[in-house]
């Protein structure tokens, strides 16, 4: 290839758009799973629930100590074998690449979201908890209506920053033969021999999306910053 021809990008847009939709869907679903599971893990540790808190710490340490791509392989190859053993058939029960991606990303990100929320819980003034106790508010309602809303607001910029990383990491689903944005560009580039142009177009798409979310993060940081005057 002696010249760069970006005219190949326009016909590829529908396929690239389909890949981008998958990347965004994976990001949103993994975010939802990660936030729900991560919040639960953070609360279990914060409340120091016997046994469960040790399990939560072990889970978080494990997920934060190994690469995401390795977790994808574990889930894709080992979980079907475990399901087959549990149901007594002795045969692996395939769960599919798509479900593997959604569940793995959600479970993996839960460890990171959990640490973010746990730090937020520790940073919240003790007076909030004491005021709720003085008003005889139950523990469940205290965390649901008083504590967690304040924590989520305070750590929202960090959560969004982690979600940007999550969106970038969705490109790892190529190991499962799924077609995300980068995977779509790679497949088309191998067909028409224009990998450079398509990779540059995808890089521009990642840049615009991540920059846009980064601006939201900057706005949230300025609004949640502690005023010194």
Q: In tens digits, what is the pLDDT along the chain, a chain of 229 residues?
A: 567 878 888 999 999 999 999 999 999 999 999 999 999 999 999 999 999 999 999 999 999 999 999 999 989 988 888 888 888 877 888 888 999 999 999 999 999 999 999 999 998 888 888 888 888 888 889 999 899 999 999 999 999 999 999 999 999 998 898 999 999 999 998 888 888 999 999 999 999 999 999 998 888 888 766 443 4
Question: Which pLDDT score is estimated for 2?
Answer: 60
Kindly report the length of the chain.
229
Do residues 79 and 125 touch, judged by C-beta distance below 8 A? no
The answer as to whether 1 is a domain residue is no
The domain of 136 spans: 6-224
The answer as to whether 149 is a domain residue is yes
Query: 130-142 burial, b if ≥16 CB within 10 A, otherwise e?
Result: eebeeeebeeeeb
* Total of domains in the chain: 1
Q: Which pTM value belongs to this model? A: 0.90
d(CA 191, CA 131): 65
The answer as to whether 21 is a domain residue is yes
Taking Cα atoms as reference points, which of 124, 105, 100 lies closest to residue 163? 105
The answer as to whether 229 is a domain residue is no
The answer as to whether 18 is a domain residue is yes
Report the CATH number at residue 196: 1.10.3720.10
């Amino acid at each position: 290839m002696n010249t760069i021809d970006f005219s190949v990008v326009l016909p590829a847009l529908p396929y690239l758009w389909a890949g981008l939709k998958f990347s965004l869907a994976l990001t949103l679903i993994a975010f939802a799973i990660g936030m729900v599971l991560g919040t639960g893990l953070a609360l279990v540790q914060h409340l120091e629930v016997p046994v469960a808190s040790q399990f939560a710490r072990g889970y978080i340490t494990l997920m934060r100590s190994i690469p995401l791509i390795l977790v994808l392989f574990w889930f894709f190859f080992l979980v079907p074998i475990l399901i087959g053993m549990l149901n007594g058939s002795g045969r692996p029960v395939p769960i599919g690449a798509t479900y593997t991606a959604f569940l793995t990303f959600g479970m993996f990100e839960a460890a990171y979201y959990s640490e973010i929320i746990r730090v937020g819980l520790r940073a919240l003034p003790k007076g909030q908890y004491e005021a709720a106790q003085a008003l005889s508010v139950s523990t469940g309602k205290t965390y649901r209506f008083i504590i967690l809303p304040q924590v989520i607001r305070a750590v929202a910029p960090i959560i969004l920053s982690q979600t940007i990383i999550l969106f970038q990491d969705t490109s790892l689903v190529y190991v499962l033969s799924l077609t995300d944005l980068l995977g779509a560009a790679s497949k088309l580039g191998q067909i028409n021999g224009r990998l450079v142009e398509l990779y540059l177009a995808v890089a521009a798409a990642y840049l615009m999306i991540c920059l846009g979310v980064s601006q939201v993060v900057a706005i949230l940081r300025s609004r949640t910053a502690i005023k010194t005057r």
